[in-house]
Chains A and B, each alone.
Chain A
């Protein structure tokens, strides 16, 4: 007999609906405008580690792809309407091959941009959204720890992530019990990502929110750069933050890059592009207002709020039930 039932209990379904409503209402109260960027796009292969799901028509003709993030279209909206205090979109995004206890190829993302906001301001918004979600479920506000990426690596692995070479990173991975099959295929950022996931995230306190800041400049993508002090010296890092609920990555945000020339340079290495890249860069040249943007994984947030350790329990139908 096939298991036709959803992964969610009746309570979870109600919790899901409540959280979606609270997230929307909280942003709307702050003057943000809800927008609906297209989910069916032409191309958008601008993130090196995110694979698009391609769309093919019934006759076999390629018909673009499903978006992995509404970022490009939302930025184009802001370029056209820079007077808006903020815009947000709540809906599904798609990433090929991402499947597991914490991943589903289709998941719900809340993405928002605030004009005139720096990183501190959107970090505050992100925490407010999460604490409002807790409040809506009758939970007390979670304690918040602000941590520095460099300090976390120093604390848990004894190394300086901005300067350690690949050999050093590989050695620390080995010492922390992570044995990599093909070491030759790993670059510096691969090692940092692996160590972050396997040797640091598990140590973040389960019931706390941890805001991590100071990601290496090589992990900036569409963020501007900022200078921070690490161990008494100035370090140029990405103006980027992540919020973890326990060891679970919930949100990622940038103080957005507005320099069109620099943006074009960073996209040079991206494989595809065509009209999507061209229109995006035209809009950036026209001018993106100073803004910060955040993507919050709504399913992950639900997992953390309800203590579920499998995404299947918070999604009506995960890819295991299709």
Chain B
């Protein structure tokens, strides 16, 4: 792969840091007038999601990472591996538990997911920002209670548990935000 010099640093750039692929989140140029210039960089490790701060002397370079973000359709899982397919060329990839993390609680077969490929292998799986999922378990609904603002837990078909208003019934389909894990609305069937 190519190398990137500090003057090419910008947010979104994918680089290799300590053997792992990482993306640049923030790049701050620091320099005393007469002194050495530095780039103080905030990066996100794409495998662990951890944020790292690293300072580079201006002119230093770092290896580019072979990282691709692709949209793929979730097919199925056996609990150990998660299978995805590119609906255009039918190519399939297999993601491990490490790559899927706790995204699996939102994964519904046929849904399109964002997958980050490193050297062709999935290292991160992101569910769609908004999903529509059926409630498989919750306490019986309190009809007409749309005003008190109380909530109860509801388990969705993919395993996620979200806080929902008291009037929600089992079997209803809910729209949720996977980034916050919050209930958004009922979906009229």
Contacts and interface: CB of A to CB of B under 8 A. Distances in A.
Interface stretch (A55-63, A193-201, A271-279): A193-201
Interface in A168-204: 177-182, 185-186, 189-190, 192-194, 196-198
B37 A97 contact: yes
Interface string B151-179: 00000000000000000000000000000
B60 A193 contact: no
Contacts of B60: 181-182, 185
Contacts of A99: 29
Contacts of A97: 7, 37, 58
Contacts of A198: 30, 40, 55
Nearest to B5: A97
Interface in A218-255: 219, 221, 242, 249, 252
Nearest to A177: B53
B38 to A, nearest CB: 6
Nearest to B7: A97
B56 A193 contact: no
B107 to A, nearest CB: 35
B62 A197 contact: no
Q: Interface size for chain A: under 10, 10 to 19, 20 to 34, or 35 or more residues?
A: 20 to 34
A206 to B, nearest CB: 18
B189 interface: no
A207 interface: no
A118 to B, nearest CB: 20
A101 interface: yes
Given A177-B53, A186-B57, A194 B29 contact: no
Interface in B29-48: 29-38, 40
A295 B33 contact: yes
A49 B31 contact: yes
A252 B37 contact: no
A103 interface: yes
Interface residues of B, number: 22
A273 B62 CA distance: 32
A97 B27 CA distance: 14
A116 interface: no
Given A97-B58, A181-B54, A181-B62, A190 B36 contact: yes
B31 to A, nearest CB: 6
B28 interface: yes
A79 B32 CA distance: 29
Given A100-B28, A194-B38, A198-B40, A252 B33 contact: yes
Contacts of B56: 180-182
A105 to B, nearest CB: 11
Contacts of A100: 28-30
Interface string A263-284: 0000000000000000000000
A305 B144 CA distance: 59
Interface core residue of A103, A178, A181, A221 (most chain B CB under 10 Å): A181
A98 B60 CA distance: 15
Contact of A181 (B29, B35, B55): B55
B34 A47 contact: yes
A181 B15 CA distance: 13
Contacts of B52: 179
Given A182-B60, A198-B30, A98 B53 contact: no
A252 B34 contact: yes
Contact of A249 (B7, B28, B32, B55): B32
Contact of A189 (B33, B36, B40): B36
27 contacts: A97-B58, A98-B29, A100-B30, A101-B29, A177-B53, A178-B55, A179-B54, A180-B55, A181-B54, A181-B55, A181-B57, A182-B60, A190-B36, A190-B57, A193-B38, A194-B30, A194-B36, A196-B32, A196-B35, A197-B30, A197-B32, A197-B38, A198-B55, A252-B33, A252-B34, A295-B33, A297-B33
Interface of B: 7, 28-38, 40, 52-58, 60, 62
In order of increasing CB-CB distance, the 4 nearest A-B pairs are A100-B29, A193-B35, A190-B36, A193-B36
